[in-house]
Amino acid sequence: MIIEILKTILIGIVEGITEWLPVSSTGHMILLEEFVKLNMTEEFMEMFNVVIQLGAIFAVIVLFFPKLWPFTTREKGWIKKDTWMMWFKVIVAVLPAAVLGILFDDILDEMFYNYQTVAVMLIVYGVLFILVENWNKGRRPRIRKIEDLSFKTAFLIGMFQVLSLIPGTSRSGATILGALILGCSRYIGAEFSFFLAIPVMFGASLLKMLKFGFALTGAEIVILLVGMVSAFVVSMISIKFLMGYVKKHDFKFFGYYRIVLGIIVLAYFLIFG
């Protein structure tokens, strides 16, 4: 059991890093699964790989709680109007991926959850990040605060999030890329991407739990909790890193990284697959 817990901690570390950086957690998980396999059922692993993201989500809630909590003191009127407006924008942005995800989740997994798709998406979006950053060079972003984000722009960012239903795209990668194209600053693109993740991941986790059922064994509960805790701790670090990084740097490094990783995934499975 100790070995399984150590494997779970490693999986949580990879999840905590790759969930927030625009590099595709799926691409990393596919590679990791080749070397680190938990002694659990296939059904449990399908659920585990989604529900472990709840640990990462709690990191967002902890770090951004003052911006996410919509209530204030009685002296200030209890209601934080800007925060409520931000949540309404999040709901608008989440709807496209939520609807299509519920309708086509199993079909998309069956059609596209393979190393070829993941590798191609890693490379394609890596190139797009480089092209968009080159296009944006010297441009002043028109949206530098969440309050400046219109409902129309929020919805369009949500349409970009739909692209992440194809494995290898990266949910944060698709939304950040869309935000950059639509005139958001890098910081706001990353921040809004984090906020979108909260309802998306809670919803996805609930669906997987309902599909799997709640009759978990003691070992499965331990593995799930260890994975979530390790993902939470590492997510705290990676989110802080990314928000500091984008204040001074562009996303081209992640574009190059995605291209290299995509080539590695293709080469590995062509040679050893």
CA distance 255 to 250: 10
What domain range is 254 assigned to? 2-272
- pLDDT tens-digit series, residues 82-127: 899 999 999 999 999 888 887 887 787 778 888 899 999 999 999 9
Q: What is the pLDDT of residue 273?
A: 67
* pLDDT (0 to 100) of residue 20: 93
Angle at 241 between CA 239 and CA 244, to 5 degrees: 110
List beta partners, residue 141.
none
pTM of the model: 0.91
Which pLDDT belongs to residue 77? 66
User: Which residues have CB under 8 Å from 89's CB, separation 6+?
Assistant: 146, 149, 151, 154
pLDDT score, position 76: 65
Dihedral over Cα of 126, 127, 133, 137: its sign? positive
* Number of domains within the chain: 1
Sign of the CA dihedral with 139 first, then 140, 144, and 148 last: negative
Which residues in the chain land under pLDDT 70?
Answer: 74-77, 273
